[in-house]
Structure 1
Amino acid sequence: MRSKVFFTALGLLVIILGVISWSLSVEAASIKPGKPIVLGLPCSFKATPWPLGAKYGWELAVEEINAAGGVKVGGEMHQLKLIVLDTRDEEPGVPVSESLLGIEKLILDEKVDVLVGGPTMSEASMAAIDLVAKYDIVHLITSGTWTPGWPKKVGGNIKKYRNSFKMSLNAVTAVQSGMELLGKIREKLALSKAFCIIDDVLFCRNAMDAFAGMAEKKGFTILGREAVPHGSTDFSPALMKAKRSGADLLFFWTNLATTTVFFKQFIDLEVPALPIGFAAGAQEHEVYKVVGGKVEYITFPNPHANITSLKAPGALQFQQAFENKFGRKPFGGSGNAYVGAYLLKDVIERTGSLETSALVAALEKCDYASMNGRIRFDGNHESIYSLYDPKEGVVPVWSQWQGGRRVAIWPPALADAEIKLPPWMKK
């Protein structure tokens, strides 16, 4: 009899402890009524246009979401609170450790619920992967980090790095998209000889290696490569080498804030090549006035449709809302950041929780229709991109400066104009 009573009591104790444990876990994962959901945005927004655009994109989306009532969690509506921290990772000479200290401050001092946006510099975001794992917090990158090393590291130990997700483009995918465009250019304009100029940093070196390898396999000739020191303000030596090489394509990839100098010197030197590649300043609509119009014919990836394309659903409304708030047209990482905020809202509302494991599981199963294309994550937690079809993935868009406007010229499904050659090219 005593034995029966003992085991009955023991069973009740196990049940009670289980209920208490469940209650504590639910309390930890839930959010108190009226408490905001805190998002931490680490980005080097004072250094280059790309992270500044990302900051603006997140701010606009958060403002819109809050104005519409906020985010619904467990039957309660919660406002979003965005805390922006300047990590300075894109400033020349600033060590990665400073960026990591900033991220740690967001986690420990600001008690953020989710890390979003950046850092944008590949070296900093690669290092942040381990920090995110250490503190067991979800990190959704929307801007920068184009290095193929990110998905390789995360996918190489997905159990350890399960909290890290990346919506931004990969340099290899960007180059693949560019190669598709170049294939069309060669077919229509008979251009096939390239000279490469890059900023001497990790993701730019990755891009050059990918471009040169793919281009040569497709029959293009690489006539030369030039890596410009990070922080440089004079591109003329490299541009003169390109001009003397006989190249009809100028491939550039730079993250320098001084790329406006590159644009002006390209025009002034009348380098007889179509300039195509990535430059931090090319996406800014205001750069046209800054350089006195000397940015014509520069061809670059946005890389997201809602920044320049008029065909992407909802893009025009986003462009108008952005200009109304900030007094300038969308640029840099703004388009993906804006979409990322709405994606995160959807994920939190579907899980009804801020618990890390629940958010990770929801992001892994994500299938979200956005104005930039369908958003899903692959096994490495990197967003799936499609070179042509927005119904299959996010589509990288290439634009060109024409008549003082950034015009989408690739791919055909999202293009608003045909590509143009500089008039001094003898073709």
Structure 2
Amino acid sequence: MATTPAPSSAKTADGPARSILLDVPFLRLWAGTTASGLATWALPFVLGLAVLHRDLSAAGLGLVLAARTVGFLAAVTVGGVLADRHSRRAVVLWSALAAAVAAPLLAAGLGRSLLLMTAAAALAGAGQGACRPAFQALTAETVDPGRRQQANAAMTMAVRGSTLAGPALTALLAAFLDVWTLLLGIGLLWLVAALVPGKGRGAVTAADPEAAGPAPRASFRAEFVDGVREARRHPWFLAGLAALVAVIALGYSATSVALPLISRDRYASEWVLAAAMTAYIVGALGGALVIARWRPRSQGWAAFAGLAAYGCAPLSLMLPVHPGVVVAAYAVAGIGIELFNVPWFTATQREVAPDRLARVSSLDFLVSYGLAPVGLALIAPAIDTFGVTPVLGACAAACFLVPAAAALVPTARHFARTAPEERADAC
């Protein structure tokens, strides 16, 4: 965030602000988020084991995972509206319980009914999608403004740690447990996500008088459109979404398709693939540690620079460089992505009207998760048509140029409609 925080961000009513890791309500929320992350990342791996054990065909795996994605995308906007309309804690509870119920249904259909597994996967995806904006809004209710950047860094470390530990832990357990039992274990993780987080510190109030005025209950569609309208009030948010589109749909998709091919054809080893992906996650963990404490003067510009750093990944794949260069480039990309994500989440919680926060967050997740499959579907044909090097070059250029253009948008410098000095004077 900015270097001049509001007075409330430096102290609590009882003195200097405590570390976020000493805050029990936040730790409960963090534990629930971590459990949901582990369950999310473990499911595809467990289903992959089912294919190896011939309990599920490869085509069936693709159908089940596609159903989960469809369920997620369908529910993330619904969850955003519900989390603004009702208690955020209640939305987390019921959405995580839905994902928990899906796990034994998946186990029941394993080797017996692909239709049941597909329906259960859609339910699991819906639970995952509905809880994401609710978790984001519940963080703002649980943590005071001065410690939200620390809280968001801890949250993203949980997500990245789950990405790293989820498959590894699942592989370890698979040596002792069968797929059916592992699916039930995923259900238990979702129960933790449902039951462990506590309530926020009370209902939040709107950020400005326009949003605070009482109004009769609108239709679901009208409330979602109201969230879109709130997002449009913040040019920096729209610019950030555009930059995310470029990096996710082009940069991330290109590297996801090209890295396995280049690891096999250029380096004749799977080591480069594994090392690069591990370096990306480790870099992201390191970036989260840095941004938990670092407060750049121009928060938005620093965040967009971090997002643009993802361009190093496709750039490193264009030329026959030493594999260590590829691994280092992925580490830089991982660091950069969290230098963007944590301030981005924190600014959204600070700037967006609190009673519309979940809906605006749902737009973020809808773009982030919704465009990745589209990019993945288009990149492979593009590589077949134009060749891997031109496609990687175009994607790297987009990763560098689009965030740079987004940084020029008014209000993008500080991720705020007013400069930090003005906010401090107002306080």
TM-score by length of 2: 0.29
The answer to which structure has the higher strand fraction is 1
TM-score by length of 1: 0.29
The answer to which structure has the higher helix fraction is 2
Structure number with the bigger relative contact order (C-alpha 8 A, sep ≥ 6) is 2
